[in-house]
């Protein structure tokens, strides 16, 4: 196993999930062994001349896990805690997510160890352009297609596109996704992950004989995912009774005015102080008696310590890993529906795939077409996970991984890999 990968809990947990799901489908041991280790791990130094004239070196990473199904695909994050082990685990999860969603893409992840909030716009641009140059030989529309992640956005992707295109000698819009619409981005990309959460919410409620219209929903996190999940669920008639951000939460049993809250947060940068709602903390939000709880912020917020306080019948994981493995098992034993992150927050990569397809074909779709295609894929993926779960009597997280591995194993066998 590659040096430096085995020192992270996330990587070890991902391996454990792989082995558990592999046993459910009797995964070929050679395929299992191959999937445990990334194909390639790239470590680079990113020198940046700071505004004070000094040169600072930032460590950068790109881990390309598997490309059996197609080109590598996955986000780039700018964060102080980015390290090789973390991006290796996330690259593996991207392989499984892309397979589960039925996309012709492999898994990758990367990032730079930095605090983007401490960098000026000029420093951020310099960092991005140099990082793109260092990754240049390994990325491209038919090789590896990065996308935004924690600490990166459409502007960062625009700089990457420009740098790669300059060095190629012509415009290559398909090298990254999550770009502004004006330079090859897709309609509907910004809301995609949150909208995907809502489509999975619809299917889970349907299994309980309920509809989204009139259902009560609590959303932990009001960022890129949580805010759009609230907006989209509200449009479809759901009653958003609680939301939260880093400064605390809001609760209104009659339902929050989501459109007014969105306007408020855009001006105030926080939900704190919003009228027509009482203040609650995150702990209280998680224990509200609602139809659906959607943790869309941090990992490991539902644990063995608070799992007995969870009263929601349905948990939709908009964040990565918000429910610990043991807590998930307890929720399953209680008969609750937990839609795992690998399924629930897959909307972002699905629409990233749509963007890539539009870029390489130079044919762009209207937003309604994007939304309808996304709904079809999210519902189809949910059905596959649900059916496997019922057939094998296992929780939805293991089922999602198992469905993903079955497709990967078949593709690996057809290509003659690891046999």
Secondary structure class of 188 (helix, strand, coil): coil
Residue 153 token pair: 């956005």
In sequence order, what are the residues at sequence separation of 6 or more whose Cβ sits closer than 8 angstroms to the Cβ of residue 8?
83, 85, 86, 88, 89
Residue 48 token pair: 């940046």
Exposure string of 152-181, with b = 16+ CB inside 10 Å and e = fewer, is: bebebbbbbbbbbeeeeeeebbbbbbbbee
- CB-hemisphere CA count at 13 Å for 251? 16
Residue 393 token pair: 């009597």
Catalytic residues: 109
Query: E strand or H helix at 49, and its extent?
Result: strand 40-49
Exposure string of 35-57, with b = 16+ CB inside 10 Å and e = fewer, is: bbebbebbebebebeeeeeeeee
Rounded Cα distance, 310 and 299, in Å = 16
Q: How distant is the alpha carbon of residue 2 from its chain centre?
A: 25
Give Cα separations from 411 to 2, 404, 405 (angstroms).
24, 11, 10
DSSP 83-144: -HHHHHHHHHHHHHHHHHTT-S-EEEEEEEES-GGGS-HHHHHHHHHHHHHHHGGG-BTTTE
Name which of 377, 413, 395, 391 is nearest 98 in CA terms. Answer: 377
Residue 122 CB coordination number (10 Å): 12
Query: E strand or H helix at 248, and its extent?
Result: strand 248-251
Give the residues across from 55 on adjacent strands: 49
Question: Residue written as tokens 């000698």?
Answer: 169
Rounded Cα distance, 196 and 177, in Å = 17
Q: What angle do CA 63, 64, 67 make, to 5 degrees?
A: 170
Characterise 171 by phi-psi region: left (phi > 0), alpha (psi -120 to 50), beta (else): beta
């Amino acid at each position: 196993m590659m040096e430096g990968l085995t020192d992270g809990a996330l990587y070890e947990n991902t391996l454990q999930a792989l082995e558990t799901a592999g046993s459910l489908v009797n995964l070929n041991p050679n395929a299992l062994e191959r999937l445990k280790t990334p194909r390639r791990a790239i470590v680079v130094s990113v020198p940046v001349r700071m505004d004070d004239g000094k040169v600072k070196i930032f460590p950068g990473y790109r881990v390309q896990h598997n490309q059996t199904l197609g080109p590598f695909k996955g986000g780039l994050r700018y964060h102080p805690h980015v390290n090789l082990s973390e991006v290796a685990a996330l690259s593996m999860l991207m392989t499984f997510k892309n397979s589960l969603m039925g996309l012709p893409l492999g898994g990758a992840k990367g990032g730079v160890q930095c605090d983007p909030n401490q960098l000026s716009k000029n420093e951020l641009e310099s960092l991005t352009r140099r990082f793109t140059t260092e990754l240049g030989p390994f990325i491209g529309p038919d090789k590896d297609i990065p996308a935004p992640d924690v600490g990166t956005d459409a502007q960062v992707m625009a700089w990457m596109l420009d740098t790669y295109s300059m060095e190629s000698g012509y415009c290559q819009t398909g090298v990254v996704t999550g770009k502004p619409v004006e330079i090859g981005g897709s309609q509907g990309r910004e809301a995609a992950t949150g909208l995907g959460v809502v489509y999975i919410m619809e299917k889970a409620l349907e299994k309980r004989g309920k509809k989204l219209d009139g259902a009560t929903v609590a959303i932990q996190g009001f960022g890129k995912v949580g805010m759009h999940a609230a907006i989209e669920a509200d449009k479809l008639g759901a009653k958003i009774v609680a939301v939260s951000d880093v400064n605390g939460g809001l609760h209104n049993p009659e339902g929050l005015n989501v459109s007014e809250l969105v306007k408020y947060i855009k001006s105030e940068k926080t939900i704190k102080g919003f009228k027509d709602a009482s203040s609650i903390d995150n702990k209280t939000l998680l224990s509200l008696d609602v139809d659906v709880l959607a943790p869309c912020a941090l990992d490991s917020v539902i644990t063995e310590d608070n799992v007995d306080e969870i009263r929601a019948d349905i948990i939709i994981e908009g964040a990565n890993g918000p429910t610990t493995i043991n807590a998930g098992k307890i929720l399953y034993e209680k008969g609750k529906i937990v839609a795992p992150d690998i399924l629930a927050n897959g909307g972002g990569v699905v629409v990233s795939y749509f963007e890539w397809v539009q870029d390489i074909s130079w044919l762009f779709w209207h937003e309604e077409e994007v939304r309808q295609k996304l709904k079809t894929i999210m519902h189809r993926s949910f059905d596959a996970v649900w059916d496997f779960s019922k057939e094998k009597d296992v929780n939805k997280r293991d089922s999602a991984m198992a469905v993903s591995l079955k497709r990967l194993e078949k593709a690996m066998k057809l290509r003659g890999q690891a046999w």
